[in-house]
Structure 1
Amino acid sequence: MSHPSSATSPKKRKRDGPTHESLSFELDSSCSKETTGPLLVSFPALQAPEDTPFRCYGRKKMKKDNQKDKDDDGGKYERPLVVGEAPAVEFVSNEEESRRAADSGCSYLLAVHDPRTSKIKVLPFHQTPYILTRTVKALKSIPPADAPSALDYRDARNALGETFGTKKAKAAIRAQERNRVDVNAMKGVIGHVVEGIDEKAEGLLTKEEAKDLVDSTRLVPPFSATATEPEDIYALNDIIPESEMKALNITPLEHNLTTRVMPWKYSKWITAHLKRLDQNEDNSKARKRKLKMLLYVSIMILFRRVMKDRSGLDKDTIYEKMNSVPSTVVDGLLSRFTETTRGSSVHIFTSTMATKLMSYLLALCLRVDDFVSNPRILADDFSLATTNIQNAYRSLGCKLKTLSERELANRGYSDTLADTKFAVLVAPVQFPKAKTGRKKGQA
């Protein structure tokens, strides 16, 4: 008995012609890098008629140094020019677009299948695709129109806005037109405008003159902008006039180096300097000058305390409150740091004068501190915030910075002041630039 499947299984039909188990690949040796070979072209956004004839035109040989367009193997020939012509359209390869396609990094291989031999012949393709552009023959005789100018573009845009825009857009267009300057109308008067500008500009200050004017209005002692040493920036005679310096009596202070014999007895800064002088037995002229400077700092602090009442004080009241100070010194302070109205004997300590007094006082403190001062100690003496004293030092041209351990040791300061920012006067003096920017939140 036969198997059922064998009785019903159909017989396979034999194919005509030769049979092949698999495809085989073969490299066409007729195409090499020395030959042009097949070319691959692309028609973006259009399709050329199938019967369009194409030709490839070679170009002249170029020198290697001046060559701009090279094929992939670095040859010395420029890429051929591909041209096709149909009855209504011409096609020409676009070098710029073709170069962009070459830079995209894609490479291509062309293969031809032979069904008789079941072989796929691979043609080496050494060049990137050619991007073709078209030209309509009927439009070649029409000259190209000029590109619209910015004025034409704006007029066309405004016309569309007037026709289809919202009320807000139309109002913006009309406002823009009102602010628009008619250049043609200005041509006749431009000469007069320029002459008027030149005439008015004659009275303007130069950059150097403007700087000198700003420096002259600074509420600081007279200074030297060309000084190369800190001690030459603010002269001592400009802070303490010679007549007032001679009027200072330091004899009680030489016998008792404490603040108890000074006009103002509560300054920590003066106390620290007197202790240093007490340890130094030197009776030189420099020591006496430093004592006079410390005495004058005490007088300026007292004067600031006395003149706190901004409503003003008469001279007799000021003399009474500063009875331990020579009258020559009091008169000098009143003339430099107070204001009086016509026909009145009342001396007013305005905010401008208070700033000026503070600048003179701190400039004198810098000289005593060898031009490196600690703003925190002086802030305690003046009952002010440290930032206010720091800003006052900046207005004198000081830089705020910390000192190294060596600098602290050389000046006799403790290591606990390593994080303290000292006011250091540096030559040549540089004042902070005035801020001209608009504050946040202001319109």
Structure 2
Amino acid sequence: MASTVGAASMKRKRDERSNESLSFELASSSSTGLGPVLVSFPALEAPKDTPFRCYGRKKAKKDNEREKDDDGRTLVVGEAPAVEFISNEEESQRAADAGCRYLLAIRDPQTSKIKILPAAKSPYILTRTVKALKSITPADASALAYREARTALGETFGTKKAKAAIRAQERNRVDVGAMQGVMQHVIEGIDEKAEGLLTKEEAKELADSARLIPPFSLTATDPADVYPLNDIIPDAEFKALNITAVEHNLQDVGMLPWKHSKWVNNHLKHLSGKEEEKSKTRKRKLKMLLYVSTMFLFRRVTSHSKGLDKDAVCEKMSNIPTIIVDGLLSRFTETTRDSSVHILTSAMSTKFMAYLLALCLRVDSFASNPKTLADDLSVSVTNINAAYRNLGCKLKTLTERERANRGLSDTLADTKFAVLTTPVQFPKVRTGKKKT
């Protein structure tokens, strides 16, 4: 009975309280100081008895001013027996930028008032640190360790294609660590082998010496000294030239070894009009013209695709001294093994052309007309120009004075001549693929 009465009295008290009016109060953050804060525990909830503290960042004092909070930024820290919690500023700021605001409602049971408190800030995102793991050294996060772990994972769980790619990558990888011990020996070996390499100047000299042209002088200041005459025509062959028949009748081209050369015939006509020229100079020029005519005939005879033996060449050049024929065969033809057949190969043809044009330059006072010689040799002007460039000539038009000194007509004012200048400069050897 007593218990029933007690229960009824308690019910009356509860009903009386429920009839009391509730009131709301909105508190400002300025009146409450910092105010309550909200925190979030990702994947782990802190024990209820974990103490938390909120710290504000402060600026240094300036001119006796009081310390102020740095833009209201605060830090929430909590510590449990096994775990430490601390707010992550970057994640917390990201949550604040989301635009959500939070209010806290606190009911006072004594006064039946509900106080609305604005949260001091958006929720603080907490990160945790296990105290027992602090003393453990973190794992190696280098690129090498990552690659090794990735390779092991791929070899264990990867597909056949992925495993094949891993093996191919491992085969192509250079072990830098293994090279460190032998790197010095490799460098020393390179230096030792490099001692035998040519310098830039030596390589240029070697390339120039390998040119299929007459012997030359790079230091000559006079074009006449660039290609000495005795290096183009040996002295024995030059003395063997007989100009008696030609000298007495310069107009009779039938006395020449090859009478179809327009270049030679023009020079003979020009020479016939200079009776006052010194006898020695005249004879020297006649011998050079006779040798050029001989070279024209030699080229005509040896241009046979299968070549000819020495007797056949001498028979076709019967009016030429044997010493000259032998010299031309030895310098400008090649023979195969166990054969006496002389062939004017491509390389020998280039060499022959260089010697012929060098001799023509000397007769032309070192300014030749490529068009006339191209017609005589039945080759294109482009090939003749390339041969002149290989001799170090420059293609340019002559001035009126230069034409007058050489007895050339004004109709050749726009014609480009191959001019040998000093010091002689050869074209650079092109490397790489030709641009299209």
The two structures have a TM-score, normalised by structure 2, of 0.63
For residues 371 and 305 of structure 1, the distance between their equivalents in structure 2, rounded to whole angstroms, comes to 25
| Partner AA of 2:73 in structure 1 | A
- C-alpha deviation, 1:223, in angstroms: 0.6
- C-alpha deviation, 1:283, in angstroms: 4.3
For residues 324 and 243 of structure 1, the distance between their equivalents in structure 2, rounded to whole angstroms, comes to 17
For residues 231 and 179 of structure 2, the distance between their equivalents in structure 1, rounded to whole angstroms, comes to 56
| Partner AA of 1:254 in structure 2 | E
For residues 291 and 193 of structure 2, the distance between their equivalents in structure 1, rounded to whole angstroms, comes to 49
Distance 1:413 1:87, change over 3 A: same
Q: Find the residue that maps to 2:423 and give its secondary structure.
A: coil
Q: Find the residue that maps to 1:292 and give its secondary structure.
A: helix
The alignment of Structure 1 onto Structure 2 pairs a total of residues equal to 316
1:434 equivalent in alignment to 2:429 = yes
- C-alpha deviation, 1:410, in angstroms: 3.6
- C-alpha deviation, 1:167, in angstroms: 11
For residues 386 and 393 of structure 1, the distance between their equivalents in structure 2, rounded to whole angstroms, comes to 10
How big is each residue's C-alpha offset from its partner over 1:374-401, in whole Å with a ceiling of 9 and x where there is no partner?
1111000000010011111111111122
Conserved in 2, the CA contact under 8 Å of 1:339 and 1:348?
yes
For residues 62 and 254 of structure 2, the distance between their equivalents in structure 1, rounded to whole angstroms, comes to 109
1:275 equivalent in alignment to 2:275 = no
For residues 162 and 405 of structure 2, the distance between their equivalents in structure 1, rounded to whole angstroms, comes to 72
Alignment-derived partner of residue 367 in structure 1: 362
- C-alpha deviation, 1:439, in angstroms: 3.3
Q: Find the residue that maps to 1:302 and give its secondary structure.
A: helix
1:378 equivalent in alignment to 2:373 = yes
Alignment-derived partner of residue 300 in structure 1: 295
1:198 equivalent in alignment to 2:191 = yes
Conserved in 2, the CA contact under 8 Å of 1:312 and 1:348?
yes
How big is each residue's C-alpha offset from its partner over 1:408-443, in whole Å with a ceiling of 9 and x where there is no partner?
3443333333332211111111111112112358xx
Structure 1 residue ranges, 4+ long, deviating more than 6 angstroms after superposition: 52-58, 165-174
1:180 equivalent in alignment to 2:173 = yes
Alignment-derived partner of residue 10 in structure 2: none
Conserved in 2, the CA contact under 8 Å of 1:310 and 1:350?
no
Alignment-derived partner of residue 87 in structure 1: 74
Identical-pair percentage:
66
| Structure 1 runs not aligned, ≥5 long | 1-51, 59-82, 90-137, 139-147
Alignment-derived partner of residue 409 in structure 2: 414
Q: Find the residue that maps to 2:335 and give its secondary structure.
A: coil
Alignment-derived partner of residue 243 in structure 1: 236
| Partner AA of 1:289 in structure 2 | R
1:260 equivalent in alignment to 2:254 = yes
- C-alpha deviation, 1:203, in angstroms: 3.0
Distance 1:185 1:316, change over 3 A: same
Conserved in 2, the CA contact under 8 Å of 1:231 and 1:367?
yes
For residues 154 and 389 of structure 1, the distance between their equivalents in structure 2, rounded to whole angstroms, comes to 67
For residues 171 and 435 of structure 1, the distance between their equivalents in structure 2, rounded to whole angstroms, comes to 44
Q: Which has the higher helix share?
A: 2
Alignment-derived partner of residue 222 in structure 1: 215
How big is each residue's C-alpha offset from its partner over 1:204-225, in whole Å with a ceiling of 9 and x where there is no partner?
3333332332222211001111
1:210 equivalent in alignment to 2:203 = yes
Q: Please point out which of 342, 348, 352 is paired with 1:347.
A: 342
- C-alpha deviation, 1:154, in angstroms: 10
| Partner AA of 1:281 in structure 2 | E
- C-alpha deviation, 1:329, in angstroms: 0.9
How big is each residue's C-alpha offset from its partner over 1:80-106, in whole Å with a ceiling of 9 and x where there is no partner?
xxx7553359xxxxxxxxxxxxxxxxx
Alignment-derived partner of residue 13 in structure 1: none
For residues 278 and 341 of structure 1, the distance between their equivalents in structure 2, rounded to whole angstroms, comes to 45
Q: Find the residue that maps to 1:87 and give its secondary structure.
A: strand
For residues 434 and 170 of structure 2, the distance between their equivalents in structure 1, rounded to whole angstroms, comes to 32
Conserved in 2, the CA contact under 8 Å of 1:222 and 1:238?
yes
- C-alpha deviation, 1:152, in angstroms: 7.1
| Partner AA of 1:247 in structure 2 | A
Conserved in 1, the CA contact under 8 Å of 2:308 and 2:341?
yes
Q: Looking at CA atoms only, which structure, 1 or 2, has the larger radius of gyration?
A: 2
Alignment-derived partner of residue 334 in structure 1: 329
Alignment-derived partner of residue 394 in structure 1: 389
| Structure 2 runs not aligned, ≥5 long | 1-56, 64-69, 76-86, 88-126, 128-140
Q: Please point out which of 305, 310, 325 is paired with 1:310.
A: 305
How big is each residue's C-alpha offset from its partner over 1:38-92, in whole Å with a ceiling of 9 and x where there is no partner?
xxxxxxxxxxxxxx9999979xxxxxxxxxxxxxxxxxxxxxxxx7553359xxx
Distance 1:358 1:171, change over 3 A: farther
For residues 172 and 401 of structure 1, the distance between their equivalents in structure 2, rounded to whole angstroms, comes to 63
- C-alpha deviation, 1:318, in angstroms: 0.9
Q: Find the residue that maps to 1:401 and give its secondary structure.
A: strand
Distance 1:177 1:418, change over 3 A: farther
- C-alpha deviation, 1:170, in angstroms: 9.7
Conserved in 2, the CA contact under 8 Å of 1:375 and 1:390?
yes
Q: Find the residue that maps to 1:400 and give its secondary structure.
A: strand
How big is each residue's C-alpha offset from its partner over 1:204-263, in whole Å with a ceiling of 9 and x where there is no partner?
333333233222221100111111221111000000111111111111111111322110
Distance 1:181 1:301, change over 3 A: same
How big is each residue's C-alpha offset from its partner over 1:321-356, in whole Å with a ceiling of 9 and x where there is no partner?
111111111111111111223443222221111111
Conserved in 2, the CA contact under 8 Å of 1:227 and 1:427?
yes
Conserved in 2, the CA contact under 8 Å of 1:408 and 1:414?
yes
Root-mean-square deviation (CA, aligned residues, Å) is 3.9
